[in-house]
Copies of this chain bind each other. A is one copy, B any other.
Amino acid sequence: MARSYRDITDAELAVMQVLWERGESSIRQICHVLYPGGGPSQYATVQKLLERLEAKDFVYRDRTQQVHLFRPALGREELIGRRLRSLAEQLCGGSLTPLLTHLVKTKALTPQERAELRALIEQSENTPRRRGSKG
C-alpha cells in the first residue's frame, strides 16, 4: 500500500480546487478550467495528477462509465484541518491551542468577526467535548 499520508502538492491542489467548485468532473472538464486551449500534453498532466490523487485517497474515481468521473474524497475544510494539525504537530507540540491564540492575537478583527467568534464560542459551550480530543 502506497504511503497515503503524503500531502497534496501545488499542482494537485489546483485540480482539487476545480473538483471542489464543480463537483464530480471528467479529466476533460478539468482541463477546460485549468488549461483553456490546452492540448494533449496538458490533458495527460491532469490525468497523471488525478492518478496520483487517487493513489493518495484524495479523490474517488468512478470507472463505471466509459469516461471516468472524479470527485473529491476530502473537502476543503478537511484539508484545512489536516494542514492545521500538521502545523501544530511541527511547531506546537501537537496542540492546536497556540494556533488559535496566535490568530486571535495577531489578526485584526472586525466587530462583526468578533461577534461571530463569540457566538461560536457560546455554541461550543453547549457541545460536550468529544472523547479523546486533545488540546
Contacts and interface: CB of A to CB of B under 8 A. Distances in A.
Copies in the complex: 2
Contact of A107 (B77, B96, B113, B117): B96
A102 B117 contact: no
Contact of A117 (B84, B96, B104, B106): B104
Interface majority SS on A: helix, strand, loop or mixed? Answer: helix
Contacts of A117: 100-101, 104, 117, 121
A103 to B, nearest CB: 5
B87 A107 contact: no
A76 B104 contact: no
Top 5 nearest A-B pairs (CB, nearest first) are A108-B129, A108-B133, A104-B120, A100-B103, A96-B107
